[in-house]
């Protein structure tokens, strides 16, 4: 397939593309986690032992790929910091039908199944490969007019695949480094970089020069679509293997359904989506959804503080990392699992909810002052713990919600211990 050239003639072109990449990685990661959360977990849900073994393999695969998407988001954040741009963890709500992205890039929360796997393969397809997206994903407008080299302001550019976007970013990095010099391009302080040691993530690359910047981009491309022509062990090849095994099991037993009947229903109408979305009306479910979304919100706030920190000590930076990881494992994972077993409401009989990763505003309203930022973080995690504790009383999922409240309480205590005293 012919692919248009991505233009990077000045820093703001690159800034725009990296912000676009951050939102894309973030949205793709949420799609994968939603599909993983939707999978059944026991033979009491109408699957055989052999089918359950396959489901567990698929869950492990999809979660592992989602974790790598988190790595890609961190790598993009490092790239942004390195060129002097503020990393961003905001994004648009689902479903996203190609407004910020090119028309061919559309994101939607889907339960695990044939349609979701077809969509994932389309998103992860290697550069130059033709695939058809799942039914319903139809571009609603023509691609953007190509950017001219003399345009002073950045705007959306067309890219056919994720690899196409990143190779455009890599070419732009080389071009600007040649024109501005490496010291002129990579103006961000090395201290702002997330390091492998900080996150215990060997594949995380701190970006300080052109070589490390290109290495970060190559890491994203090779994990996603694979090095050119070598996609078998990359995301694309792994999803293809899952797709084929799923198709074989469905052919052997057409009644086999690996996913719960989840519906991407929201706690309230998303502020940035014009079309009415399904809403959760069951009060026991809505409470869990609200707590998941609060945990997700404070996770993004924590990551934003880490990647835009100022004068934090090493112990404080380590606390931000442990808070983010603790929110993922101790709050979001159990609440997300619980949601997929709770009813949406009588308007949607037989359907269960799921984590929609709802955004209530475009994030970016953070101050640089350490004491104020930490006070707000601590306050929000404490509120999450308190709200979960109240919700747990008499709730059908009381043990899970109580455990989430306890996890949040420990995280709040750890934050409080490291929060600077008010002068």
**Which DSSP string do the residues of 392-408 spell out, in sequence order?**
HTT-TTHHHHHHHHHHH
Is residue 94 helix, strand or coil? coil
Residue 350 in tokens? 């037989």
Residues of the chain with pLDDT under 50: none
Which of 318, 330, 344 shows the shortest CA–CA distance to 388?
Answer: 330
SS (H, E, C) 350-380: CCECCCCCCCCCCCCCCCCCHHHHHHHHHHH
Which stretches of 83-189 are DSSP H helices? 114-124, 162-180, 182-185
β-pair partners for 39: 259
What is the torsional sign of CA 227, 231, 232, 235? positive
pTM of the model: 0.96
Q: What is the pLDDT of residue 151?
A: 93
pLDDT in tens, 351-403: 999 999 999 998 887 889 999 999 999 999 999 999 999 999 999 999 999 99
Q: What is the pLDDT of residue 336?
A: 98
Q: What is the pLDDT of residue 2?
A: 59
Q: What is the pLDDT of residue 351?
A: 98
* Helices and strands (H and E) in the chain: how many: 13, 0
pLDDT in tens, 58-117: 999 999 999 999 999 999 999 999 999 999 999 999 997 656 788 889 999 999 999 999
Report the C-alpha gap between 94 and 357 in whole angstroms: 8
- Measured in degrees and rounded to the nearest 5, phi and psi for residue 281 equal -115, -15
Report the C-alpha gap between 372 and 360 in whole angstroms: 22
Q: How many CB atoms lie within 10 A of CB 2?
A: 5
Q: What is the pLDDT of residue 391?
A: 98
Report the C-alpha gap between 158 and 147 in whole angstroms: 9
Contact partners, residue 101, CB within 8 Å, separation at least 6: 20, 23, 24, 107, 156
Cis peptide before 95 (omega within 30 of 0): yes
Q: How many CB atoms lie within 10 A of CB 94?
A: 23
Q: Which domains does the chain have, with CATH numbers?
A: 1-260 (1.20.1260.10), 263-423 (1.20.1260.10)
């Amino acid at each position: 397939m012919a692919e248009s050239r991505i233009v990077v003639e000045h820093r703001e072109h690159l800034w725009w593309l990296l912000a676009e990449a951050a939102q894309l990685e973030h949205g793709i990661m949420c799609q994968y986690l939603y599909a993983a959360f939707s999978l059944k977990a026991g033979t009491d849900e109408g699957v055989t032992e052999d089918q359950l073994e396959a489901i567990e393999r698929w869950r492990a695969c999809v979660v592992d790929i989602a974790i790598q998407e988190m790595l890609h988001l961190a790598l993009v954040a490092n790239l942004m910091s390195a060129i002097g741009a503020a990393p961003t963890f905001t994004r648009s709500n689902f479903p996203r039908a190609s407004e910020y992205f090119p028309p061919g890039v559309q994101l939607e929360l889907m339960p695990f199944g044939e349609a979701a796997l077809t969509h994932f393969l389309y998103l992860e397809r290697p550069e130059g490969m033709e695939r058809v997206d799942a039914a319903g994903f139809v571009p609603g407008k023509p691609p953007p007019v190509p950017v001219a080299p003399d345009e002073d302001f950045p705007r959306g550019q067309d890219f056919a695949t994720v690899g196409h976007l990143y190779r455009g970013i890599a070419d732009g990095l080389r071009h600007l480094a040649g024109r501005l010099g490496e010291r002129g391009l990579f103006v961000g302080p090395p201290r702002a970089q997330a390091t492998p040691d900080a996150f215990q993530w060997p594949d995380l690359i701190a970006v300080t020069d052109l070589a490390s910047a290109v290495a970060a981009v190559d890491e994203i491309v090779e994990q996603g679509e694979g090095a050119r022509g070598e996609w078998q062990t990359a995301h694309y090849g792994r999803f293809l293997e899952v797709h084929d095994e799923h198709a074989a099991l469905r052919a052997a037993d057409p009644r086999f359904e690996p996913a719960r009947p989840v519906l991407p229903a929201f706690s309230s109408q998303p502020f940035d989506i014009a079309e009415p979305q399904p809403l959760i009306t069951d009060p026991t479910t809505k409470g869990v959804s609200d707590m998941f979304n609060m945990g997700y919100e404070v996770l993004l706030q924590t990551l934003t503080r880490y990647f835009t920190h100022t004068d934090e000590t090493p112990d404080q930076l380590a606390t931000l990392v442990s808070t983010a990881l603790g929110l993922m494992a101790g709050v979001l994972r159990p609440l997300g699992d619980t949601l997929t077993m709770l009813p949406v409401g009588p308007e949607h009989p037989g359907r269960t909810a799921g984590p929609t990763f709802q955004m209530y505003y475009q994030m970016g309203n953070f101050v640089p002052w350490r004491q104020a930022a930490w006070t707000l973080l601590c306050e929000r995690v404490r509120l999450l713990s308190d709200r979960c504790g109240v919700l747990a009383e008499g709730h059908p999922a009381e043990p899970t919600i109580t455990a989430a409240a306890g996890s949040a309480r420990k995280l709040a205590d750890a934050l409080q211990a490291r929060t600077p005293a008010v002068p």
